[in-house]
Amino acid sequence: METMAILFLGVLAIATAFLVIFSKNTVHSALWMVGNCFVLAVLFLMLNSQFIAILQVIVYAGAIMMFILYAIMMLNLRREQDEGDPRKNLVTGRILLVLLFFTGLVIMGVGFSPIALKGRMASQAVAQFGEVNLIADYIFSEGLIPFELVSVLLTAAVVGAVYIAKKN
Amino acid sequence: MIDFFIIPVVKLTIIFSICLFLIAYATWLERKVLGHIQLRYGPMRVGWHGLLQPIADGVKNFFKEDVVPDNADKAVFVIAPVISISAAIILLAVIPFGEPIHMFGKEITLYIANPSIGILFILGFATLGSYGTILGGWSSGNKYGYMGGLRASAMIISYELSMAFAVISVVMMSGSFSLVDIVTDQETIWNCLRQPVAFLVFLISGTAELNRTPFDMPEAESELCCGYNVEYSSMKFALFFLAEYTHMFVFGALVTTLFLGGWHGPWLPGVVWFFIKTFLIVFACIWVRATFPRLRYDKVMKLEWKFLLPVAVLNLVATGGVMLFFI
Amino acid sequence: MTEHQSIYLALAAVLFAVGAFGALTRKNAIVVFLCVEIMLGAVNLVFIVFASANQSAEGLFMVMCVMAVAGAEAAVGLAIFVHLYRKTGTINIDKYNLLKW
Amino acid sequence: MEKSDIVNVSGRRVEKGRYVAPLLKGLAYTLKNFFSRPVTLQYPQEKTERSKRWRGLHRLNVDENGKLKCVACGLCARICPSQAITIIPYEDEGGTRYPKKFVIDELRCIYCGFCQEACPKGAISLTQVYDYIDYHRSDFIFDIEKLKNPKQFEFKGK
């Protein structure tokens, strides 16, 4: 049952990803991307991490995609400009190389995944996992410095964005 | 079987039908209150004091011709109202309507779900709902709609911030994202007394997120002649309309839950208190709409970025400081 | 849940490949940007799979960092695109062949 | 904000930088309005009081025997600026004149009231009925029967 659900969601995720690439209209691309974010959020839910799932919806689908949509609408890119059909430049040599590389990655991922596990978890821990408290404890004890660095990064990004936008 | 299937389904049906009924009558209430504030009567013809008006409107909208403009983006045009209404209705799932009641020897909770991330769920899906507005405006192939959609996205990017900050200071007080926990935390003192600044910021930015006057930038009748829904007609328009009123109802419920102590109150049962408070907030929304003129677009942005956001952040810092040193 | 690890990882790899493929083939700067977001999403999925397998918050924290980076990237990247669009009138990345304006 | 900084908003002097008090004042005003009586009328059931000189549909007056006062002199038709009145006079054996046909086109009529003033017998007068509605243009061409009792055409709602 769960395998079926994961496979279904996986197919959906890959299909939406392909639709992002092959939509002629930039807004349609962005919309399929929202769908992709949503499917990923459901996958995160299935991995018991509610908090990250809703964060995915809020941050990706809610904020970033909204922002991208705003930019697209502001630039008024209704039709693809001077690119033509995206399907035209589909197959080139380097793409095949990249695909082969990732096929290898898939095989390795499937083969080596059991090694990465430290052991089966207790059912108590499963229920606890994904709760906000777990992440909060980590952030404010061990992960404090990276967390603060992330805030510095965000501030830098805001300053940079404002500077670029103000330049002309 | 009974616990996992029948009770949730019955609960779902009852809560959704009651809420949708109330939302349909919110349209009647708005017209009535607006009328009386403007020294008119409002709807009077259909039924006693126009009580059947929502049904008549529904029937009328259902049978109207469904126009899709020629240069519209057809698929997006059709899907936009659906996004809008479904993202609005899903919000009803996590609102705690009342304290658990005992019936047939079982304890029945008066909410559909109580996820540990309830308030984030609402923030996330409220944002998703505005995709309907944006896409509806964009896909109409109409300049006014386009401007409306653009404004809607700018509004949602801006006002989401101060709203989230106001919510976070409440979450800090109660130490949980779950709406039920937030309500139980307010048993002795309501959050609007403990967090008056957050309360005001939430009210203002919530009104802005609802796209209601004085912040109704996306539909601004006098500037954009109804903005994002210019090209919409028939049932599609009705869905947008219904989504707006669902958001208003959810906003009332959310203010009640976060700041007005949810179902807590003397004498009456919890559910009644909850609906009284929600009704008062919805009434206040209409009252504000009837009183204030629309702000200019740049003033709306100024209000958010130069006033509400700094105030909300300062409030958050102050809350943290107080909790650190005094509690 | 543990037995599904392989599926998740394979899915993440495929998603990453699709994202990389799009980033390399498309010429519309914003779509390239979206493809980078797809790749980030795939990476997030891997982090969460391992975090849930090992019961540690580190992976979840990494995901939050990735999201913050994605947000920063969106802010700066879109500012750059808007700026370039105003300068050149196109967002086809093949047209951006100058290093200095 | 300096108190001296004064802007002019629609003729009223408003001090710049005062936001909260005017907002509350506005809210209080609308709330007061909400609880006061509406000034509008429920039209077909309630109607405004019309002036005594109101000029509505025409009525042909009758004397105590139930006969028309009109002697078909044609003065009204003569004076009518929009030529809405058509009269075909007739004379019976006793030499009394009466109108065989008296037709007023209510769509042509401009309700000036000259016919009422011109009439030597007080046979035609204008009533207060102002809201006659119907479906066809021909329904607005009133003959004697209709003109005898225009009160019945007053709109009372469905």
pLDDT tens column, D62-78: 888 878 888 888 888 88
pLDDT for the residue numbered B194 = 82
**How many domains does chain A divide into?**
1
Question: pLDDT-based confidence at C85, cuts 50/70/90?
Answer: confident
CB within 8 Å of D86: residues ≥ 6 apart: D77, D101, D102, D103, D104, D105
- Which residues from C are below 8 Å from A68, CB to CB? 30, 33-34, 74, 78
What are A147-165's pLDDT values in tens digits? 889 889 989 988 888 888 7
Same-domain check for residues D66 and D115: yes
Q: Is residue A44 a part of any domain in this protein?
A: yes
Question: pLDDT-based confidence at A122, cuts 50/70/90?
Answer: very low
Contact of A38 with chain C, judged by CB distance below 8 Å, is answered with no
Q: Is residue C51 a part of any domain in this protein?
A: yes
Measured CA to CA, the distance from residue D147 to residue B19 in angstroms comes to 57
Between B2 and B78, name the one with better pLDDT. B78
Question: pLDDT-based confidence at A168, cuts 50/70/90?
Answer: low
Contact of D26 with chain B, judged by CB distance below 8 Å, is answered with yes
Q: Is residue C42 within 8 Å of A119, Cβ to Cβ? A: no
Q: Is residue D127 a part of any domain in this protein?
A: yes
Measured CA to CA, the distance from residue C27 to residue A81 in angstroms comes to 10
Map tokens 């079987």 to a residue: B1
Contact of D24 with chain B, judged by CB distance below 8 Å, is answered with no
Measured CA to CA, the distance from residue B238 to residue D14 in angstroms comes to 41
Same-domain check for residues D20 and D82: no
Instruction: Tell which of D29, D30, D41 to mutate to test the B interface (max B CBs under 10 Å).
Output: D30
pLDDT for the residue numbered D62 = 83
Map tokens 């309501």 to a residue: B190
Question: pLDDT-based confidence at A13, cuts 50/70/90?
Answer: confident
Residue C49 has pLDDT above 50, yes or no: yes
The two tokens of residue B56 are: 């008549």
Half-sphere exposure at residue B28, Cβ-oriented, CA atoms within 13 angstroms = 22
Residue B245's nearest CA partner among B91, B113, B138 is: B91
Same-domain check for residues D28 and D68: no
Measured CA to CA, the distance from residue C71 to residue C69 in angstroms comes to 5
Residue B55 has pLDDT above 50, yes or no: yes
CA D114 remoteness from chain centre: 16
Instruction: Round the average pLDDT of chain C to a whole number and report it.
Output: 80
Q: From A128, which residue of chain B is nearest by alpha-carbon distance?
A: B116
Q: From D23, which residue of chain B is nearest by alpha-carbon distance?
A: B292
Q: Is residue A3 a part of any domain in this protein?
A: yes
Q: Is residue A149 a part of any domain in this protein?
A: no
- Domain boundaries, position C49: 2-95
Residue C1 has pLDDT above 80, yes or no: no
For residue C99, give the DSSP letter: S
Instruction: Round the average pLDDT of chain B to a whole number and report it.
Output: 83
Q: Is residue A111 a part of any domain in this protein?
A: no
Helical axes B7-37 vs B53-63, angle rounded to 10°: 100
Q: Is residue B94 within 8 Å of B125, Cβ to Cβ? A: no
Which of C34, C58, C83 is closest, CB to CB, to A33?
C34
Q: What is the CATH number of the domain that holds C53?
A: 1.10.287.3510
Residue A121 has pLDDT above 50, yes or no: no
Q: Is residue D51 a part of any domain in this protein?
A: no
Q: Is residue A153 a part of any domain in this protein?
A: no
- Domain boundaries, position D16: 6-35
Percent residues over pLDDT 70 in chain B: 97
Q: From A61, which residue of chain B is nearest by alpha-carbon distance?
A: B128
Q: Do chains D and A touch (3 or more CB pairs under 8 A)?
A: no
pLDDT for the residue numbered B211 = 81
Residue A127's nearest CA partner among A43, A48, A47, A46 is: A48
Give φ, ψ of B246 to 5 degrees.
-60, -45
pLDDT for the residue numbered A123 = 46
Q: What is the CATH number of the domain that holds A12?
A: 1.20.120.1200
- Residues of chain D with confidence (pLDDT) below 70: 1-18, 157-158
Q: Is residue D27 within 8 Å of D99, Cβ to Cβ? A: no
Q: Is residue A4 a part of any domain in this protein?
A: yes
Q: How far is CA A133 from CA A51, A130, B114, B176, B255, in A?
A: 10, 8, 17, 9, 25
Cα Rg of chain B, angstroms: 20
What are B109-135's pLDDT values in tens digits? 777 777 777 888 888 888 888 888 888
Give the β-pairing of B106-108 and B101-103: antiparallel
Contact of B290 with chain D, judged by CB distance below 8 Å, is answered with yes
Half-sphere exposure at residue B146, Cβ-oriented, CA atoms within 13 angstroms = 14
Which of A7, A13, A75 is closest, CB to CB, to C15?
A13
**How many domains does chain C divide into?**
1
Map tokens 């809560």 to a residue: B15
Question: pLDDT-based confidence at A96, cuts 50/70/90?
Answer: low
Question: pLDDT-based confidence at A62, cuts 50/70/90?
Answer: confident
Same-domain check for residues D143 and D68: yes
Q: Give the mean model confidence (pLDDT) for residues B180-194.
A: 80
Same-domain check for residues D22 and D62: no
Q: Order of strands across the sheet with D97-105?
A: D85-91, D97-105, D141-142
Q: Give the mean model confidence (pLDDT) for residues A41-56.
A: 83
Same-domain check for residues D15 and D83: no
**How many domains does chain D divide into?**
2
Residue B220 has pLDDT above 80, yes or no: no
Q: Is residue D90 a part of any domain in this protein?
A: yes
Q: Is residue A51 a part of any domain in this protein?
A: yes
The two tokens of residue B129 are: 């709902």
Q: What is the CATH number of the domain that holds D149?
A: 3.30.70.3270
In this prediction, the answer to ipTM > 0.90 reads: no
Among the listed ranges B199-203, B275-279, D13-17, which one has the minimum average pLDDT value? Answer: D13-17
CB within 8 Å of D94: residues ≥ 6 apart: none
pLDDT for the residue numbered B126 = 85
Instruction: Tell which of B76, B82, B83, B116 to mutate to test the A interface (max A CBs under 10 Å).
Output: B116
Instruction: Round the average pLDDT of chain A to a whole number and report it.
Output: 75
Using the beta-carbon criterion (under 8 Å), do D38 and B35 form an inter-chain contact? yes
- Domain boundaries, position A25: 1-79
Q: Is residue B186 within 8 Å of B261, Cβ to Cβ? A: yes
**Nearest CA of chain C to the CA of A164: how many Å?**
6
Between A77 and C44, name the one with better pLDDT. C44
Percent residues over pLDDT 90 in chain A: 1
For residue B187, give the DSSP letter: S
For chain C, list the contacting chains (3+ Cβ pairs, <8 Å): A
